[in-house]
Amino acid sequence: MMKRMITALAFLLLMGVLSACGQSSSSNNAASGNGSQTNAASEEPAPSTDDLTHDANAKIASMSIHITNNLLALGITPAGSVVGGDVKDFLPHVADRLQGVTKLGVVTDPDMESVLALKPEVIYIDVANSGDDLAKFEKIAPTISIDMDNGTWRDHLNQIAQHVGKEKEAEAFINDYDAKAERVKSLINDDLGEEAKVMAIRMTAKELRVMGMKRPVGPIMFEDLGLNPATGVEKIVDEPYAVISQEVLPDFDADAIFVIISKGNEAKSNFEELEKNVVWQNLKAVKNKHVYVLDGQKWLDYSSVGHSMALDDAEKLFSK
């Protein structure tokens, strides 16, 4: 009898110890804010910012000029935005739509004090440029990361649209863009011929570049407009462009050349010197007057608004 009582007493003591340990463990987890803790009612993990949706009228800080322009395409004006690195300001082709928007520095060196002072309700960042600083932004407001190097501008626009409940607006924008691309493609083919081979070059203050198949120029020129790349352009696939010497321009055998001249007097002067060169003057495209100077800011802006404006630029050139 005595042995049974001792055994029962020992069992009760053991259960008391285990219960106390469980309560202590629960308290420690709650105090430490364990990342794996779940909602007590639903026992589901806290929502990821990948699934974060917000009011389209929320105060937004955009830490990418391309994200800013995708927001504009959806009819949303951010409260604050970074500026273009070259111009140190909002990009000229959208500046009129960003009046009153707070400038947050350039994307590679954002002004965190201005971001903090803005008191945004949500922040958008480009993974490639601001991913390492994610924790800094998350301390200010819920932060949505967009990988601008993954997918097309259409993907980026749709991704943002899902966060703000503007899927229909994104679809309408893309449909309008595709219709415009077909219209412009027809104009170009009427002028150059469907078999014409084209190339795009960019003159900077330091070098001459041939734009390749990758963004920003390649997709709109060779996919959306369906133009044929000049000989060798199709091989420029690992980088957005290849630096060349003017002596190799004839090797591309282009029927038409699209020209982008970087900002600044030096780049302009370099192109003027190229035009005087006998190599340039003897190019087939030059002799046939098929050289077209593009609005570089629009063509280099890899966003929905930028691409649409680039099509407008081409339509104007080939409607003359």
Count, residues in the chain = 320
Which residue, chain included where needed, has tokens 């009427």?
190
Cα–Cα dist 212/199, whole Å: 8
Residues 151 and 180 grouped into a single domain: no
Cα–Cα dist 250/132, whole Å: 44
Number of H helices, E strands in the chain: 13, 12
270 Cβ contact list (under 8 Å, min separation 6)? 203, 204, 205, 208
Report the CATH number at residue 206. 3.40.50.1980
Cα–Cα dist 185/314, whole Å: 9
Q: What is the pLDDT of residues 127-175, one digit of tens each?
A: 988 888 899 999 999 999 999 888 899 999 999 999 999 999 999 999 9
Residue 52 has pLDDT above 70, yes or no: yes
Residue of 169, 164, 166 lying closest to 142 (CA atoms): 164
Tell me which of 138, 165, 192 is where a domain ends.
165
Q: Parallel, antiparallel, or unpaired for β 80-83 and 102-106?
A: parallel
Task: Give how many domains the chain has, as a whole number.
Answer: 2
* 127 in a structural domain: yes
* 28 in a structural domain: no
* 171 in a structural domain: no
Tell me which of 112, 137, 165 is where a domain ends.
165
Confidence of residue 2 (pLDDT cuts 50, 70, 90): very low
80 Cβ contact list (under 8 Å, min separation 6)? 60, 61, 62, 101, 102, 103, 104, 114, 115, 118, 120
* 23 in a structural domain: no
* 24 in a structural domain: no
199 Cβ contact list (under 8 Å, min separation 6)? 210, 211, 229, 230, 233, 252, 254, 256, 257, 258
Confidence of residue 53 (pLDDT cuts 50, 70, 90): confident
Residues 272 and 158 grouped into a single domain: no
* 278 in a structural domain: yes
Is 163 within 8 Å of 54 (Cβ atoms)? Answer: yes
- Domain coverage including residue 98: 49-165
Phi, psi of 318 (to 5 degrees): -100, 10
Residues 293 and 229 grouped into a single domain: yes
Cα–Cα dist 226/105, whole Å: 37
Residues 181 and 292 grouped into a single domain: yes
Percent of the chain clearing pLDDT 70 (strictly above):
84
Q: What is the pLDDT of residues 80-134, one digit of tens each?
A: 999 987 778 999 999 999 999 999 999 889 999 999 999 999 999 999 888 888 9
Dmax over CA atoms of the chain, in Å, equals 116
Cα–Cα dist 1/316, whole Å: 104
Cα–Cα dist 274/208, whole Å: 10
Tell me which of 123, 145, 165 is where a domain ends.
165
